[in-house]
Amino acid sequence: MPENSAAVVISGAGPNGLLLAGELALAGVRAIVLEELTAPSVEPKANGLVGQVIRLLDMRGLYHEFGGAPGAPLPLPRYFFAGLRLSFAELPDNPMAILAIPQPKLVRLLEKWVRGLGVEVRWGHRLTESTQQDGGVIVTVAGPEGDYRLDTTFLVGADGGKSLVRRQAGIEFPGHTATDSIVRMGHVWLPDELRTADGGVEVPGFGRLPFGHNRLERGGFVFAELEPGRPLVASMEFGVEPVPAGTPMTIEELRAGVRRVLGVDLPIEAPRGPGPHALRRIDNQNTRQAERYRAGNVFLLGDAAHVHSGIGGPGLNLGLQDAANLGWKLAAEINGWAPDGLLATYHAERHPVGVRVMMSSLAQTALFAPGPEVTALRTLFDELLQQPENTAYIARLMSGADTRYEVGDDHPLSGRMVPDFTLETGSGTQRVAEVLRTARPVLLTLNGARTDGSAGYIARDRAGAYADVAAGWRDRVDTVVATTSDTPAAAMLIRPDGYVAWAANGDAHSDAERLREALSRWFGSPTN
């Protein structure tokens, strides 16, 4: 029988559960991942990553391994909101980045990464029951060789929108179910002559439609060839009767849905070549969020904590950052240095982010609905989005760059994901992302750093003073002294998830005391 205990048990070997397991392993905490599937799913789901999560992967050294271009992640020059085209050409700090990677490939790469860190992933092992007692959780598992028991301190539900972990923990899942809209999507084959040079499609009898989401008077239409020879087509219809449960989805049904939206026929056929190919229907779309992300020693993340429309691609950005936020906090508790209340900050920080993503996805869905009122509203939105400040607002919303945690420090950087810039350290030229590879907290002090609002430079003795303050936390906080030509702060305390817990401009006598407070607040008591 398998080993019967671990500090953390994670139910679900999707991207979120696997990243959490990797974060724990980097902190020296053993986790077991349970997955009822016998192997990684090949079912096409998400088509890529969008937003700040790409910077998170870069911090762990995974961005390039997963197919990202050399160097820092490059921002997108353009994107869309509810099918409205956004240009980011005038944004000085464009936070939108994208990594086109099918979810099955992402899972395979994450599994390879976590196995390299020593994580045990048990395929074909299904959690059937969980009971909290004596400061831990007893988990019953159905495995290939029979049922067995696992004892763990913490159980994490990364087991999807129908999460058994959530239900057994007694956590409510309030929200909204849309019953009058249907999305049909699938990989298809279509004649080469219908493809346009800019990635769109020329529809006979209708005209040219650009890449991505398109809202029309009868509904929505999507065309996106993310992989050569595998265009993805989707229709979105409103005010329609639901399809009887259990009805198989077919290419003919997809073609009919596209015809109703466009008013003409698009000559699509079943895709050619090896699969798997996407072909699914989404009706009764849920927008729901767990009322709490924690019940005792049970935690939720990803779809177990929140479900919403995939429009705009926010799902993995949200779920993977849940994992990064929770991982270091669980590890701190298990390793014995977590300050009081640290685990409570998981819900406090991530629940509002989920609320915001659901607001964005619902708003975009509403802007796709048919009718002259919506057309007028879209015209107004389109005019507003010609203003760079409004485009910047939407870019920050969709990327998650507008997230700011309450960290107890009022510096403009504190609570936000650390900016990426180039440093000169004892190891040579590095980017900030590269000093966070080990997923440990970092106190970054910058000699010769030009600071906002200051004509001078931080003195070397001030950098040394910050390091002296942090000496009592050297067992859990790394100190990096670097030189840089320009940065928005002279020193920063960066959490393992990449968010700034404290920052200073190097010119205030209270900086050292604020640093001491931040170290205690987030990383426990000093050792001396």
CA distance 32 to 255: 44
Q: Name the nearest CA neighbour of 317 among 70, 102, 56.
A: 56
* Residue 73 CA: distances (Å) to CA of 79, 208, 408: 16, 31, 30
CA distance 130 to 150: 9
For 153-205, give the secondary structure using H, E and C: EEEEECCCCCCHHHHHCCCCCCEEEEEEEEEEEEECECCHHHECCCCCEEECC
Q: Name the nearest CA neighbour of 14 among 52, 51, 54, 46.
A: 46
pTM: 0.95
- With a cut of 70, list the residues of the chain below it in pLDDT: 1-2, 448-463, 507-509
* Residue 145 CA: distances (Å) to CA of 2, 11, 57, 128, 340: 9, 18, 36, 15, 41
Q: Name the nearest CA neighbour of 34 among 105, 124, 164.
A: 124
What tens digit of pLDDT does each residue of 207-249 get? 999 999 999 999 999 999 988 888 999 999 998 888 898 899 9
Q: What is the pLDDT of residue 508?
A: 55
Query: Burial level of 9, CB count in 10 A (0-12/13-18/19+)?
Result: buried
Q: What is the pLDDT of residue 446?
A: 86
Q: What is the pLDDT of residue 463?
A: 67
What kind and span of H or E run contains 290? Answer: none
Cβ count near 462 (within 10 Å): 19
Look up residue 262 and give its amino acid. L
Are 182 and 283 in contact by the 8 Å Cβ rule? The answer is yes
Q: What is the pLDDT of residue 115?
A: 97
CA distance 350 to 366: 25
Q: Can the peptide bond before residue 276 be classed as cis, meaning omega within 30 degrees of 0?
A: yes
Q: What is the pLDDT of residue 2?
A: 66
